[in-house]
Amino acid sequence: MTALLEVHAVTQQFGGVTALAQVNLTVNRGTITGLIGPNGAGKTTLFNVICGVRPPTSGSVRFDGVEVNNAGVHERSAMGISRTFQRLELFWTLTVYENVLVAAELASHPNPAEIARHNLELLGIDHLADATAGELSTGSARLLEVARALATSPKLLLLDEPASGLDERESEQLGELLKQLRDRGITVLVVEHDMTLVMGVCDEVYVLDLGVNIASGKPEHVRTHPDVIRAYLGAQVGES
Ligand SMILES: Nc1ncnc2c1ncn2[C@@H]1O[C@H](COP(=O)(O)OP(=O)(O)O)[C@@H](O)[C@H]1O
Ligand SMILES: [Mg+2]
């Protein structure tokens, strides 16, 4: 198995806050990797570092065998990194179809209309193509974000809390979809609090707590790790 993404010793400071401290993370090709941890752990910050939103304070990111430290968001997108957002960021006044079409056009696909239709079908929301994004349920809006992220034909798909706002059935369907994407050769890195989803679909799981990677490994290893239970899973069980 070869690495598609390698995050090496990444530290991100915001003033006095250390959001990430010497974080290492490897995502192998053709896998689904989970990134979990309590709120404020640094998960979204790590996504921003991977996408090139801002350079880290120190450390490096390699993607597809290339050091991308100096590449910006658009350059990394063109290389095959695509993401969704924790807080949905759709074009709310455009239609579902147009939201995906814009992304396919930006990626300079020869046939953006076909790509848009294909991805709406793949996500099972083609019947909503003419609806305005603002009219969608949270579940459909989350799926639309994934469809839009896929319209750039990424090698690596970063999903930031894709099951947030979904009911149990929708989360299960999302899990099946992630496995389908993996089977189609798309590598996935997913931040998610839904432990049934994470433990059910991920090949590897990384755990962050206050910017520190406290554990990583197979889901069954992480699930029973005392530090993870103390920092995160204990609280999850307590909440439910
Ligand atoms: N742009 C920013 N400026 C200052 N502090 C930030 C910024 N982004 C994130 N942080 C801080 O970094 C820490 C990690 O946040 P975040 O990555 O959003 O965590 P998570 O996604 O795991 O909930 C938090 O303490 C947060 O307040
Ligand atoms: Mg976050």
Please work out whether the CB of residue 41 comes within 6 Å of at least one atom of ligand 1.
Answer: yes
CATH 3.40.50.300 in the chain: give the residue spans. Answer: 3-80+155-239
Q: Flag whether pLDDT at 239 surpasses 60.
A: no
Please state the pTM of the whole predicted model: 0.95
Q: Flag whether pLDDT at 31 surpasses 60.
A: yes
Determine the residue of 43, 45, 53, 83 to mutate for testing ligand 1's pocket, defined as the one with the most ligand atoms within 8 A of the Cβ atom. 45
pLDDT digits (tens, 9 = 90+) for 218-238: 999 999 999 999 988 876 754
Position 240 scores a pLDDT of: 44
Position 1 scores a pLDDT of: 66
pLDDT band at 15 (very low <50, low <70, confident <90, very high): very high
Residue closest by Cα to atom 16 of ligand 1: 42
Position 234 scores a pLDDT of: 77
CATH top class, domain 3-80+155-239: alpha beta
Torsion of CA 15, 7, 231, 142, to 10 degrees: 90
**Do residues 148 and 125 lie in contact, with contact meaning Cβ atoms separated by under 8 Å?**
no
High-pLDDT (> 90) share of the chain, %: 92
Determine the residue of 10, 11, 13, 17 to mutate for testing ligand 1's pocket, defined as the one with the most ligand atoms within 8 A of the Cβ atom. 17
Q: How far apart are CA 43 and CA 191, in angstroms?
A: 7
Average pLDDT, the chain: 95
pLDDT digits (tens, 9 = 90+) for 121-178: 999 999 999 999 999 999 999 999 999 999 999 999 999 999 999 999 999 999 999 9
Position 120 scores a pLDDT of: 97
Mean pLDDT of 1-25: 96
Please work out whether the CB of residue 48 comes within 6 Å of at least one atom of ligand 1.
Answer: no
**Do residues 195 and 235 lie in contact, with contact meaning Cβ atoms separated by under 8 Å?**
no
Q: How far apart are CA 236 and CA 91, in angstroms?
A: 33
pLDDT digits (tens, 9 = 90+) for 70-122: 999 999 999 999 999 999 999 999 999 999 999 999 988 899 999 999 999 99
